[in-house]
Amino acid sequence: MAKFISVAQLKGGAGKSTIATNLAGCLAREFRTGLIDADMPQGTSMRWAALREDPRLTVVTAESAADLAREAEALDDLCDVVVIDLPPRSLKFLREIMPFTDLVIMPLTASAPDVWATEQLVEVVREAKKTSKRLKARLVWNRLRASKASDAFLAGTGEALRAKELSSHLASRTAYVEAMGRGLTVTEWSDAKARAEFETFLGEVREQLRLG
């Protein structure tokens, strides 16, 4: 039985693939890890994994919602943990993966359109929780730029969305872009701040999943 992490956001470009690939790469250091790229033909996670060539990581793609359920079922037996990079704008994929999911990670940037898109995402998760006891969901702020304005934006947004948030935040850093393009995780890149913030985020995710 694997633990499933679905990285979901209906809005494009919030950081799903960045977070999914970094999580999968880091978790594979210790666990039998699967990565499902469900955002084809874009295939960001698949392209990253092709550069990486990590024998500890099992990477599959899903072209349809039915594919996604099939791949999740197959990886359930093979892996300890499975990370799913979901496509934006697809309620169908999102609903399909909810019964498998232990933790939904919902990245969002400090912008009104991201927050508006998250309202609908939170609603889908809330609906799915009615039939799944193990389902949890957490917001994570991504691409943050430190400023008083963004602090004010963050304060109260989680509450307004009626969604819990992780206390760690991911800042806007070129390290994420550079590492991704080389098939690396940000923890393998030379930016100590990026490394530290991602390890903290990873710790929180593991805690949520009770992953050793």
Ligand X SMILES: Nc1ncnc2c1ncn2[C@@H]1O[C@H](COP(=O)(O)OP(=O)(O)OP(=O)(O)O)[C@@H](O)[C@H]1O
Asked whether 196 and 64 are in contact (CB, 8 A), the reply is: no
Residue found under tokens 């550069």 = 51
φ, ψ at 156 (rounded to 5°)? 90, -15
Closest CB to ligand X among residues 47, 129? 47
CB 138 within 8 A of CB 103: yes
Q: Nearer to ligand X by C-beta: 31 or 176?
A: 176
Q: By CB under 6 A, name the one of 40, 43, 44, 211 that touches ligand X.
A: 44
> CB-wise, 18 or 157, nearer to Mg ion?
18
CB 47 → ligand X: shortest distance, Å?
Answer: 11
Return the residues of window 122-151 that contact ligand X according to CB under 6 A: 142-143
Distance CA 95, CA 32 (A): 25
- Helices 16-27 + 192-209 axis angle, to 10: 80
* Contact letters for ligand X, residues 175-194 (x by CB under 6 A): -xx--x--------------
Distance CA 84, CA 38 (A): 7
From 49-57, 73-81, 154-162, 173-181, span contacting ligand X (CB under 6 A): 173-181
Give me the phi and psi of 186, to 5 degrees please. -70, -20
Tokens at 13, concatenated: 């470009």
Residue 44 CB, nearest distance to Mg ion (Å)? 5
Amino acid at residue number 39:
D
Does 14 help bind ligand X (rule: CB under 6 A)? yes
Rounded Cα distance between 195 and 208, Å, is 20
The item of Mg ion, ligand X, none sharing an interface with residue 43, based on CB under 5 to 8 Å by kind, is none
23 binds ligand X (CB under 6 A): no
Report the C-alpha gap between 9 and 93 in whole angstroms: 11
| 143 touches, from ligand X, Mg ion, none (C-beta below 5 to 8 Å by class) | ligand X
- Of 78 and 147, CB closest to ligand X: 147
Measure the CA–CA gap between 10 and 18, rounded to whole angstroms: 15
Contacting range for ligand X; rule: CB under 6 A; set: 46-54, 69-77, 174-182, 204-212 = 174-182
- 43 is a site residue for ligand X (CB under 6 A): no
The residues that touch ligand X, with contacts defined as CB under 6 A, are 9, 12-18, 39, 42, 44, 88, 142-143, 170, 172-173, 176-177, 180
